[in-house]
Amino acid sequence: MKVIVTGACGFIGFHVSAKLIEDGHHVIAVDNINDYYDQKLKQDRLKILEELSTRTNSFEFHKLDIENMGDLENLFKAAKPKIVIHLAAQAGVRYSIENPHAYVSTNISGFLNILECCRHNGIDHLMYASSSSVYGGNKDMPFSESDAVDHPVSIYAVTKKTNELMAHSYSHLYGIPTTGLRFFTVYGPWGRPDMALFKFTKNILSGEPIEVYNAGNMSRDFTYISDVVRAIVELITKIPSKNEHYGSEEMNAGSSWAPYRIVNVGNSCPSKLIDFIAVLEKALGVKAEKRLLPMQPGDVEGTECDCKKLKELTGFSPGVNIEEGISQFVEWYNMYYDRITVQTGMNDRITAGLA
């Protein structure tokens, strides 16, 4: 089937696009390849996607900004997709405190453009990236989709909760089936350089100290990229439908009468940051110099995913542990930054970093 993937040159979008191509789908990739982080990394991901599809001609790339409604409308009209996987966003909790306008422009206005294009082009299923950040100040764990999410602690989280509310209104008003994916701290090969694992690895290998917030006592439900990809692919055909019985049963924040659904995607096995670092040190064979810092604004002390809904819908639960996941990341990182070039007929070891 034809699938539009926005943010296709980003971390998750790249892996999802690669899997869809391998599964025989036609991927219409959208990305503006902005300079939030190293553009070469994004270009190298794109080269791999182009290489994967050379025999099947099942991939097309459009350098396009989702904030540009005219370009987006033209693409939807020409492509006529049935599935949209919207992963383009301004990412990063801490950067949202420094530059909130970028998050409103991309994550809210850009998402409105996606919704409008889905509304006018007969989309069968819109899937979009939300985040565990929406749980904000919640203290009871594990976090469930049925929990209220009324206390965000960062602008990034605000934009993601706003996306969920916008999706619900479009599901209600226009019958668009939507699935919001609340990702829990995704990591792995080809990851984002602004994320902790990437920064820690770079600094440790270069002999520089790493910044460890809250003395490493924060916990995160680290979720490996291959688990995230499988969850997304499994959910594509699990299209939400209207629930005529809503209201006669227990009502909660994760359900609706509309064809609307929220699904947690996490490992359900949180680790303390200091333990995560210890596993990384072992994989690298190098001890880190740690600069212990207080908790940062916008951070939360812990996350833990209740993944029962994902398993009920798909039969699948994420399960890659941090020892395996970090080992795979370190292997990819060492090869990529040892100047193994990404080119046509690329080295199989680089493509092994795919989920």
- β-strands 290-293, 178-183 pairing: unpaired
CA angle (118 as vertex; 115, 123 as ends), nearest 5: 140
- β-strands 260-265, 290-293 pairing: unpaired
Is 156 assigned a catalytic role?
A: yes
Dihedral sign, Cα of residue 321, residue 285, residue 200, residue 230: negative
Give the closest residue to 2 by CA, choosing from 46, 55, 74, 60. Answer: 60
Residue 164 to residue 147: CA distance in whole angstroms: 14
Residue 56 to residue 114: CA distance in whole angstroms: 27
Q: Which of 156, 224, 333, 336 is catalytic?
A: 156
Q: What are phi and psi of 140, to 5 degrees?
A: -75, 125
Q: How far is CA 209 from the centre of its chain?
A: 28
Q: How far is CA 45 from CA 192, 197, 275, 355, in A?
A: 12, 19, 30, 13
Please list, in sequence order, all residues whose beta carbon lies within 8 angstroms of the beta carbon of residue 144, skipping any fewer than 6 positions away.
Answer: 254, 264, 306, 308
Dihedral, CA of residue 249, residue 260, residue 103 and residue 106, to nearest 10? -170
Residue 70 to residue 72: CA distance in whole angstroms: 5
**Would you please indicate which residues are annotated as catalytic (active-site) residues?**
156
